[in-house]
Amino acid sequence: MDDKEILNRLSNQGLDVVFDIGGASGAYTDMVLEKFPESHIFIFEPRKSSYDFLVDKYGRNLSVDVTNVAVSSKVGEVHFFEIDMLPELSSVHNRAYFENMPANGKREIVVNSITVDNFFDSNNLKKIDLIKIDTEGHELEVLKGAKKTLEKTRFIQFEYGGTYPDAGITLTEVVDFLIKSGFSIYSDIEQITEDNVSNFETFEYNNFLAINLNSGL
């Protein structure tokens, strides 16, 4: 599913609090604001130039907060591979794809990292309606850092694709983690379970929707 399809599926839901993890240029936040104008969106973006762009874009919008950090499984610092030509592909993981890029078009930097749990507690939030995770292979680490908060999260949209083998993870691991956390996971055509997840382990780009089975929050 693409971003629009997932947001359309949630069109009859009130999304008061949304986490946009991997904000890039703000395209996803724009779609949320258009469809759910009552939402308060927290954007997390580790790339400084993208963060500056987002602050300039949303600086006067009281419904959007932008934080210049990577979201991970631990609070501290992480190494981050910044790509100038395709900034949306910048990642915590040094992907095989980056080997073909000119040396002056990529750099390894260190950025601050937080967890969803830490941010949730520090900001005295009560619930999250939707967490969108587009972190170029770091999706599982983001989820591990949200272990406590997932109980108070209704929906999760996470990206999947060729970034996963570069990061050394599989869709099976993510699905298993979410099922154990009380979520059911869906593609555009069917529910993904421990029995059929191997059918979706193609490493082709996709987005999946996870729904909290106790979502009457």
Averaged pLDDT, 54-72: 96
Query: What's residue 198's pLDDT?
Result: 96
Query: What's residue 94's pLDDT?
Result: 72
- Cα 211 to Cα 34, 41, 60, 72, 154: the distances in Å are 22, 19, 32, 21, 6
Averaged pLDDT, 107-133: 96
The domains found in the chain, sorted by start residue, are 3-212 (3.40.50.150)
For the stretch 96-105, pLDDT in tens is: 666 776 666 7
Averaged pLDDT, 167-196: 96
Pairing mode of beta strands 17-21, 191-192: unpaired
- The residue ranking higher by pLDDT, 125 or 88, is 125
Averaged pLDDT, 188-215: 94
Q: Are the beta carbons of 141 and 72 closer than 8 angstroms?
A: yes
Averaged pLDDT, 30-34: 97
For the stretch 132-145, pLDDT in tens is: 999 989 999 999 99
Residues 17, 103: Cα–Cα separation, whole Å? 40
Residue 122 has pLDDT above 50, yes or no: yes
Averaged pLDDT, 32-40: 97
Query: What's residue 217's pLDDT?
Result: 45
Residue 27 has pLDDT above 60, yes or no: yes
**Confidence class for position 84, pLDDT limits 50, 70, 90:** confident
- Residue with token string 């971003």: 3
Residues 205, 90: Cα–Cα separation, whole Å? 16
How would DSSP label each residue in the chain? --HHHHHHHTTTS---EEEEES-TTSHHHHHHHHH-TT-EEEEE---HHHHHHHHHHHTT-TTEEEE--EE-SSSEEEEEEEESSSGGG-BSS--GGGGGS-GGGEEEEEEEEE-HHHHHHHTT---EEEEEE--TT-HHHHHHTTTTGGGGEEEEEEEESTHHHHHT--HHHHHHHHHHTTEEEE-SSSEE-TTTGGGG-S---EEEEEEETT---
What is the chain's mean pLDDT, rounded? 92
Residue 206 has pLDDT above 50, yes or no: yes
Q: Are the beta carbons of 207 and 131 closer than 8 angstroms?
A: no
Which among 214, 208, 213 has a CA at the least distance from the CA of 9? 208
